[in-house]
Amino acid sequence: MQAPGKAHDESLRLHTLRSLNLLDTPAEERFDRLTRLARALFDMPIAVISLIDTNRQWFKSCDGLEARETSRDVSFCGHAILQNGVFEIPDATLDARFSDNPLVTGKPYIRYYAGRPLKARNGTAMGTLCLIDHRPRSLNPEQQARLNDMADLAEQEIEALQSATIDPLTRVANLQGFEHMANYALSLCRRVGTQATLLLFDLENFQRINERFGYIEGDQALKGFAQLVRSVLREMDTVGRLGGDRFVVLLMGASLVESRVPLARIDQALEAANRAGARAYALHYRVVACEYEMARHPTLSALLAQTTADMQRRKECQG
């Protein structure tokens, strides 16, 4: 058996996947309708919308299959996301990559597989819309075109959901999107026993920018700050806009002390942007950092609440 390789942009791919806020979510009719239709249209016993996580493939929708996930190492979809267009295996028992795969030799006894990668707006492949049969077969060119069309519909549904969790102005996560991604990141930190730190930013004197230069310029300031923060952090770090001029970052694998390094990078980048003089004003911010502790912060809400309280105390002290 040949395990699938990793995408050349794997780090970006995983970050984008988690930003979709789809992993480990309940079944949704918008996706179940597509797998039901695909199963009927192609006369297949199984149709699946899969998402390829770090070490697993998870099924957002599966018609004709009871399992909700499998190991990525044995997944056909892990191979499919590395291809362009439809990835087809006419008879898995005759393909050296899959002939001894446990999904071929055991349930669900895959013989035929066809999967079309599902891509996000940035071009990274998140998973597939795939068809599975218990007997060898193949798709003719017209059927392949139909599978492409149905995969396009699945991508549109994913994009519609993503739009609901992205702040339309700054293009970082909104509160809902941040909560989903940060909860996922904290659960991973708990499993592997690593640290995390939450950063809360308040832009200073932002209302004066709106009053003096207008709200359009104020929007540009928010967009510029969000892009600056995103550009100097790692793909694994989660950035969100809580509303107004307040932003939040979850640093994975970073203690309170270690958070000083990315904070210094943000300081340097903002100082350089202010010196460049492209704007008629300088941007400044207050920031508080709070290290995640499982005993003190049983939920992300508890961590956010403490960080917000710390910010309020700092404002009161500074006046």
Cis peptide bond prior to 108, omega within 30° of 0: yes
- Whole-angstrom Cα distance, residue 170 to residue 53? 26
pLDDT value, residue 73: 96
Note the pLDDT tens digit of each residue in 222-244: 999 999 999 999 877 889 999 99
Given a contact cutoff of 8 angstroms between Cβ atoms, the answer to whether 45 and 64 are in contact is: yes
Note the pLDDT tens digit of each residue in 68-90: 999 999 999 999 999 999 999 99
pLDDT value, residue 264: 96
Determine the average pLDDT of the residues in 197-222: 92
The DSSP code for 74 is G
Query: Which CATH number is associated with domain 10-163?
Result: 3.30.450.40
Note the pLDDT tens digit of each residue in 296-316: 999 899 999 999 999 999 888
The DSSP code for 166 is B
- List every span in the chain annotated with CATH 3.30.70.270: 175-318
- List every span in the chain annotated with CATH 3.30.450.40: 10-163
Query: Which CATH number is associated with domain 175-318?
Result: 3.30.70.270
Name the pLDDT band for 19 (thresholds 50, 70, 90): confident
| Confidence check: pLDDT of 188 > 80 | no
| Confidence check: pLDDT of 265 > 90 | yes
**Cβ count within 10 A of residue 218:** 19
Name the pLDDT band for 319 (thresholds 50, 70, 90): low
pLDDT value, residue 18: 85
pLDDT value, residue 258: 95
Q: Which amino acid is at 118?
A: L
CA torsion 227→125→32→88, rounded to 10°?
170
* pTM value > 0.85: no
Note the pLDDT tens digit of each residue in 120-171: 988 999 999 999 999 999 999 999 999 999 999 999 998 888 778 889 899 8
Determine the average pLDDT of the residues in 188-212: 90
